[in-house]
Each structure stands twice: as C-alpha cells, then as structure tokens.
Amino acid sequence: MMKRILITGAAGQLGTILRETLKPHAKELRLSDITEITDLGPNETFVQCDIADGAAVKSLVEGCDGVVHLGGISVEKNFDLIEAANLRGVYNLYEAARQHGQPRIIFASSNHTIGYYRQDERLKHTDPFKPDGLYGVSKIFGEAVASLYHDKFGQESALVRIGSCTPKPENWRMLSTWLSPRDFTSLIMAAFTAPRLGCTVVWGQSANDMGWWDNSHAAFLGWVPQDNSQDFAEEIRRTVPRPGPEDSVAKYQGGVFTDEPIHQS
C-alpha cells in the first residue's frame, strides 16, 4: 500500500475513473485540478492548482510517493493553452519532483505523438514520432522532459502512450486503441511497484487482437493486460457504421485528430 498518490487532472474523465480504482492502493489520494472537486471520499484530499503555476506545483508534490499526471489539455487546442498546461505544466511537475524526493511519475502521454502513422503500420516504441497536432507535440515535449530528468537526475517515469481509455470501446478505431480502466490501473500499479522503472515508454492498450503497438520491450514491468476489445467487436459491427477506407478515422492511427486545423489563439 502506498502512502500518498497524487493525481493531477483528477476532475477529468480518467481522473474520475482512477479515483475509484486506485483507492485501495494508497492510504491517501491527493487529488488536484484547476477545477474544484467537492465530493471527496474518506481517503481523498483536494488541492486546487493550475499546473502552469510552478510554486503551487512545488508544494503539491511534497509528501507524495507517486504521481499520476493527467492534468492538462487533452485535445487539440491553440498553442497558448497547450503551452501553459502541457509545456509549463510538465516542466513544473518534473522540477517539483526533483526537489521532493523524486516520486515515480506516470505521465499520460498519447497516441497522438504518432497519430500520422497509417493504421496498416505496426509500431515499436523506438519508431520516430509523427504527431498529428500541437497536442501531440506537447506530449512529445513531456516525454522529452521525462527522459532528460531521468538521465540527469535519475527520475523514474512511465510514459504511457494511451490509446483510448473508456469503460468500453465505442467505435471501429477503438478496437485497436482501447485501454480498459482495469488495465490502466494495473499498469499504473506495476509501474509504481516494479523493482526498476527507469524511463519507460508503454503503449497504453489492452490485449486487443487488433492492436497496432508492440509492448515487448516493457515486459520487465510484469504488466499483463487482461481485457480485449474483441469482446465488443460484434456489438460495434452491429451498432456503429463502418467508416470508409479514406476517412481519417480509418486511415490514420490518430483518427480524426489528423483533420484538425492549427487553432489560432
């Protein structure tokens, strides 16, 4: 059992799920978000914080023995928004961790770091980035900061390139990209408890028959995903119209993010 896990972005979609699933794994969940959370459970505390504020992030991280970093912009937006939350935010977090005992960090990276690969390509974690927008670029920046703080200071991180984490897969693309909340939770705990974590990229995907990404390099973490989108394939075939082969959602791994413009401030 861990003493105190910090979840940034705890008011968001994944934060709300992980508050429940991580509850048994820590004496305290320290929740943080720019948006207030009021429905706190018995082992939860809340600190309202804009992660672009370096001083606030410094005190946020103090006393935590693990960080799940979800906070920030989670879709394509203009550069000013992305710069504050995803560039400054991740730098602030790694600086704060450096000054407060280097708790392991689970960084919620994204498939949009590689979104312009085609869906008929199979990727290793060492393949070059192909971001599909500024959001994807910001996650590459986050991965680079994690790598720097590992090599310079020994900070350990899991860089989880999440596909699509929802209670169940919702469309044809998610038959490849789905990460079940149960598998994300077991991945987080494997990364917190493995004897060595280093700075390891992990594709955030369940054991999907139709997956695109090779996680064999991360087997040493002992994480074995249990869920498979195939269990929902029949339901999706029946209820969701199949996109045409030239639609971005069927062509590129990043799906519709490749259709986004560069948003202006």
Interface positions with ligand NAI (CB under 6 A): 9, 11-15, 33-35, 50-52, 70-74, 84-85, 89, 108, 110, 162, 164-165
The partner in contact with residue 240, picked from ligand NAI, ligand 15L, none with C-beta cut-offs of 5 to 8 angstroms by kind, is none
Could you say which of 40, 55, 75, 224 contacts ligand 15L (CB under 6 A)? 75
Q: Could you tell me whether strands 104-110 and 26-33 are parallel, antiparallel, or unpaired per DSSP bridges?
A: unpaired
Q: Helix or strand or coil: residue 244?
A: coil
Q: How far is CA 239 from CA 59, 140, 168, 179, 235, in A?
A: 48, 35, 14, 20, 6
The partner in contact with residue 177, picked from ligand 15L, ligand NAI, none with C-beta cut-offs of 5 to 8 angstroms by kind, is ligand 15L
Which structure tokens are listed for 53? 């504020």
Query: Active site residue: 91, 135, 149, 252, which one?
Result: 135
Q: How far is CA 74 from CA 25, 111, 172, in A?
A: 26, 12, 21
Per DSSP, 177 falls in state: H
Nearer to ligand NAI, 152 or 159 (CB): 159
Binding range to ligand 15L, per CB under 6 A, among 83-91, 110-118, 147-155, 235-243 = 110-118
Q: Note whether 177 binds ligand 15L by CB under 6 A.
A: yes
The partner in contact with residue 71, picked from ligand NAI, ligand 15L, none with C-beta cut-offs of 5 to 8 angstroms by kind, is ligand NAI
Q: How far is the CB of 122 from ligand NAI (least distance, A)?
A: 19
Neighbours of 221 (CB within 10 A): 20
Tell me if 162 sits within 8 A of 185, measured CB to CB. Answer: no
Q: Note whether 130 binds ligand 15L by CB under 6 A.
A: no
Q: How far is the CB of 100 from ligand 15L (least distance, A)?
A: 27
Q: How many residues bind ligand 15L (CB under 6 A)?
A: 8
The partner in contact with residue 176, picked from ligand NAI, ligand 15L, none with C-beta cut-offs of 5 to 8 angstroms by kind, is none
Spatial distance between the Cα atoms of 168 and 233, rounded to a whole number of angstroms: 11
Nearer to ligand NAI, 7 or 152 (CB): 7
Q: How far is the CB of 16 from ligand NAI (least distance, A)?
A: 8
Q: Note whether 253 binds ligand 15L by CB under 6 A.
A: no
Site map for ligand 15L, 12-51, x if CB under 6 A? ----------------------------------------
Which structure tokens are listed for 250? 């069927």
Q: Note whether 119 binds ligand 15L by CB under 6 A.
A: no
Neighbours of 199 (CB within 10 A): 19
Could you say which of 4, 112, 150, 161 contacts ligand 15L (CB under 6 A)? 112
Spatial distance between the Cα atoms of 33 and 229, rounded to a whole number of angstroms: 30
Buried b (16+ CB within 10 A) or exposed e, 171-185: bbbbbbbbbbbebbb
Contacts of 247 (CB under 8 A, 6+ apart): none
Which structure tokens are listed for 221? 């973490």
Q: How far is CA 147 from CA 144, 218, 249, in A?
A: 5, 16, 31
The reply to whether 117 belongs to the active site is: no
Active site residues: 135
